[in-house]
Amino acid sequence: MSQRQGTDAVHAGYRPSGDFRPMLPPLHNCAAYQFESHAEAIEKFALRQSGFTYSRTGNPTVAILEQRVAALEGGAQAVATASGQSAVALSLLALTQGPKHIVVSSSLYGGTVDLFTDTFSDFGIRVSFVDQADPAAWAGAIEEDTRAFFLESVSNPLCTVADLPAISAIGHEHNIPVVVDNTLATPLNIRPLDFGADIVVHSATKGLAGHGSVLGGVVVDSGKFDFSDSTRWPQIAAPRVRLNNASLLERHGSAAYAMLVRSKFLHDLGPALAPASAQGILTGIETLPVRAAHVQRSVSTLIQELADHPGIAAIHHPSLPAHPSHELAKKLTPKGTGCVLAIELAHPSLVSPVIDGLQLISLAANVGDTRTMVAHPATMTHCRLSAEQLLAAGLNTSTLRISVGLEDPADLLADLTQALDGALNRALAPQTQGAS
C-alpha cells in the first residue's frame, strides 16, 4: 500500500515481528552474524545471496534506516554511512572509479569543497566548479571523461534552489548521473529524484536525525540511471574478478550502483554507520514532519520581523521576491526549503558583536538541530575557501548562517533583535561621543 511521507517517517522499513514484537526498531548491536551452514556463508560472501555477513557492510538496524530514507526520497535502494561527508565521498568515488572528471556547483558547504579541491585532487579526480544557476555553464564544463554532476538541492548557506529539471536534462543528454545533496531541504520539502536526479545524499546528522546527537550519512539511488555501457561504466557493467568474472549489473540489475557503493567502497574504506547511531536517526525521522512544519513557520516569522532592521543589509531566503531562486522555489519547494536562512549584516564589524551578544542562540557549526545556532561561514564552515571561491559562492565577511530550531520564534526574534541593537549601539557610540 502506498503511504504518505508522514506515515513513512514512522513506519517505513519496519513492522513488529518475532516473539516479542517490539514497537520500536530493535538495536542489533553486533559485529558478526552466525550462518546456518558453510554453504550459506559461501553464497552470502560471494554476493549471490542477500543477508548480513559483517556489520561493516550491513546490519539489521541500519537496514531499517536505509529502507526508511529510501522510502522518503522515493528511491529504490539506500546505503547508510558514518557521516554525510562519507556519503558524498562514496557516492562519487563509485562513479569516478579513478582519475576522472566531475562538474559541481560553486555553491556548496565548505567541507564538501575541501573534499573536492584537496582530497579528490590527491586521487586524481578533476573538479570543475560552475554557477549553479546557469545551465549553459554545466553543459560547457562537460569533458569526455565527466562522470557526475554534483550539487545541493538548497545551497548552504544562501538557500539557492537548484533547477534540478534543467540540470538533470543536461546530465542525461551526456550520460552523466546527477547527484544531489538534499540535506538542508530534507525529502519533506523536495525529493530530487522526482525532478530528474539519479542519486541523493544526506548528512543524516542534520534534519533527518534532528537533535544533534548522532553522526550519519545516506546514499539513495533511484535505480533508474542506465549503467549498461561497459566501456563507460566498467565498474558496474563489465565482468569483475572480485565477482568471479560476473558484473554487478548482471548480478544485481537496477541495484548495481548501490551494491557497488556497499560491497566495494563501504566494505573497503570502512565508514560504517554504528547501529546505535542508526537507531538514533530513526527516532529523529519519526518527528521530521512535525519539526519541519514548526521550523518553516519560525523561519517565516524571523524573515518578516527582521527584514527592516537597520543592522541587516539583506536576508537570503527564497521566500523573498528579491531572492534569485524565488520563482523556482515556488515550483520545486512550495512547502519551504528547510531550517536555514542567511543574513548579511550592515557591516563586517558587526559580526563578532552580534554573535557574542546572542544569549539564547548558540554559536555552533551544525544545522537541523532542535536548538537554534548561528555560524559565520567565512571564518568557520567555509574558512578554507579562497576569496575567489567565496565570491563565486555569493558569500562575504558580513554573512551569518542561522539554523532555526524548535524554540518559540518570539524568543528567537527577541534574542536576535537585542544582539543586533546592542552591536549597532556600540558601533555608533564612538561617533556620538566624538560629536559631543
Vertex 143 angle, CA 138 and 148, to 5°: 60
Among residues 198, 196, 214, which one has the least CA distance to residue 206?
A: 214
DSSP characters for 191-232?
-GGGGT-SEEEEETTTTTT-SS----EEEEE-S-S----TTT
Using the predicted structure, report yes or no on whether residue 14 has a pLDDT greater than 70.
Answer: yes
Can you tell me the mean pLDDT for 370-379? 95
Using the predicted structure, report yes or no on whether residue 429 has a pLDDT greater than 80.
Answer: no
The amino acid at residue 182 is: N
433 pLDDT band (50/70/90 cuts)?
Answer: low
Find out whether 399 and 355 touch, Cβ atoms under 8 Å.
no
Q: How far apart are CA 252 and CA 46, in angstroms?
A: 12
- What backbone torsions phi and psi does residue 327 show, to the nearest 5 degrees? -70, -40
Using the predicted structure, report yes or no on whether residue 434 has a pLDDT greater than 90.
Answer: no
373-375 and 362-363 strand pairing: parallel
> Dihedral through CA 180, CA 181, CA 184, CA 186, nearest 10?
70
Among residues 324, 373, 325, 355, which one has the least CA distance to residue 423?
A: 355
Using the predicted structure, report yes or no on whether residue 373 has a pLDDT greater than 70.
Answer: yes
Q: Which three cell numbers stand for residue 30?
A: 553486533
Enumerate residues 6+ apart whose C-beta is below 8 A from 221: 75, 76, 77, 78, 79, 198, 199, 255, 257, 258, 261
Can you tell me the mean pLDDT for 378-396? 81
- What backbone torsions phi and psi does residue 181 show, to the nearest 5 degrees? -85, 115
Using the predicted structure, report yes or no on whether residue 362 has a pLDDT greater than 90.
Answer: yes
- Percentage of the chain modeled with pLDDT above 90: 88
Distance between alpha carbon 344 and the CA centroid of its chain, in Å? 24
Can you tell me the mean pLDDT for 250-273? 97
> Looking at 13-27, 59-73, 116-130, 364-378, which range is the least confident one?
13-27
Using the predicted structure, report yes or no on whether residue 125 has a pLDDT greater than 90.
Answer: yes
**What tens digit of pLDDT does each residue of 93-106 get?**
999 988 999 999 99
Using the predicted structure, report yes or no on whether residue 386 has a pLDDT greater than 90.
Answer: no
Q: How far apart are CA 180 and CA 191, in angstroms?
A: 10
Find out whether 178 and 197 touch, Cβ atoms under 8 Å.
yes
285 pLDDT band (50/70/90 cuts)?
Answer: very high
How high is the pLDDT of residue 1?
60
Domains of the chain, CATH where assigned: 5-284 (3.40.640.10), 288-435 (3.90.1150.10)
Mean pLDDT, all residues of the chain: 95
How high is the pLDDT of residue 388?
80
pTM for the structure as a whole = 0.95
How high is the pLDDT of residue 3?
86
Using the predicted structure, report yes or no on whether residue 134 has a pLDDT greater than 60.
Answer: yes
Using the predicted structure, report yes or no on whether residue 335 has a pLDDT greater than 80.
Answer: yes
Using the predicted structure, report yes or no on whether residue 381 has a pLDDT greater than 90.
Answer: no
Q: How far apart are CA 90 and CA 179, in angstroms?
A: 11
Using the predicted structure, report yes or no on whether residue 211 has a pLDDT greater than 80.
Answer: yes
**Inter-axis angle of helices 275-286 and 60-73, nearest 10:** 40
